[in-house]
Structure 1
């Protein structure tokens, strides 16, 4: 008996999503599903994905995207939002900032990440974080001194090492070509948006 009582086409869609995620590190788009499986309309792929969610084969996690159910033979597979350049003043996970989804083994990172942030620039080069890397971020508004964080200064979001000393806050780069960012709480809005827990480099 089918573990989810799926139709043949639903099973094909689920198997394709599993295969695509394993091979490419991200979930397929509806267009890719439709093209790969020969559906005449992309809306058909959307209907199958929704049916798989209803039957429990796929699970949509708030702010994390789709995850294959633990009975689907890939227990750690999880799809997380991939955030590109963050629009000034908008929440990190606002729709306009989401480039897509990226699949991971959830056991690779501790604590578990909530999204990936595409790194732009080389300010964290000496910490092994390069332009184009996908930084895994755990959502939190607190972090210990010396941890790499996603911070918001006024309307800008940056990935830097947090330094708190004698009431001063600085965001430190890991590249001597870049200057530290000095935070003046009386003149600037400052907030921690997340904690860096690792990265993926796509070759």
Structure 2
């Protein structure tokens, strides 16, 4: 990594401290506020310089798209937002940022975090805005909570298998169960849920 200016080092240290404290990198606005800058343009310039010098990697369009590139630094789990049709769930454009979550928090290994949209799993204790820890795998057992691809979205449902029919069941009576005839249609499983992280607004 090329040598950094004093301000670049300050910004890099702030990013590292925020990651250690919060588990997420700071936003442009948070960086600008921390360093007393009126707009985010100056911060963006410093971040681009840090990226050119190999200190960080920037994910365009992500609000917390800063990834440390220091040797030996644990980057944490990728946080996935909305998933576009026909693209892998871990495609770069889906990654909002990285979260330093210890693997010991979950009984099984987690490969990524998925942001929940909606209340279809409300009665299972999964609410809008929660983060799901997901183990990436193409299959699942009946009764498991799964991330399945339905049309343009990655949806979270409980899988129930009954012969050649797979049911994706919500945990909210306001939503309907999705039935898939496996003799005609493939069921695209993106992973199984191994944990839930509640996002609490302060």
TM-score class, shorter-chain normalisation, is 0.7 to 0.9
How far apart are residue 155 of structure 1 and its match? 4.1
Aligned to 2:198: 201
Aligned to 1:100: 97
How far apart are residue 156 of structure 1 and its match? 3.6
Aligned to 2:59: none
Using a 3 Å threshold, how does the CA distance of structure 1 residues 104 and 192 change in structure 2: closer, same or farther?
Answer: same
SS of residue in 1 equivalent to 2:76 = strand
Which shows bigger deviation, 153-162 or 175-184?
153-162
1:161 maps to which of 138, 158, 173: 158
2:80 maps to which of 76, 83, 91: 83
How far apart are residue 66 of structure 1 and its match? 4.5
SS of residue in 1 equivalent to 2:143 = coil
CA contact (8 A) 2:83 2:152 kept: no
How many residue pairs match? The answer is 186
Structure-1 separation of matches of 2:70 and 2:196: 24
SS of residue in 2 equivalent to 1:190 = coil
Using a 3 Å threshold, how does the CA distance of structure 1 residues 98 and 68 change in structure 2: closer, same or farther?
Answer: closer
Aligned to 2:107: 110
Q: CA RMSD in A?
A: 3.3
CA contact (8 A) 1:150 1:196 kept: yes
Aligned to 2:171: 174
Question: Which runs of 5 or more residues in structure 1 are unaligned?
Answer: 54-64
Structure-1 separation of matches of 2:71 and 2:50: 19
How far apart are residue 120 of structure 1 and its match? 1.1
TM-score normalised over the length of structure 1: 0.72
TM-score normalised over the length of structure 2: 0.72
Q: How does 1:20-99 map to 2 (within 5 A)?
A: 20-29=18-27, 33=31, 36=34, 40=42, 42-48=44-50, 51-52=54-55, 66=67, 78-99=75-96
Question: Which runs of 5 or more residues in structure 2 are unaligned?
Answer: 57-65
Using a 3 Å threshold, how does the CA distance of structure 1 residues 66 and 114 change in structure 2: closer, same or farther?
Answer: farther
Q: Name the structure where strand makes up a greater proportion of residues.
A: 1
Using a 3 Å threshold, how does the CA distance of structure 1 residues 15 and 109 change in structure 2: closer, same or farther?
Answer: farther
Using a 3 Å threshold, how does the CA distance of structure 1 residues 34 and 44 change in structure 2: closer, same or farther?
Answer: farther
SS of residue in 2 equivalent to 1:159 = strand
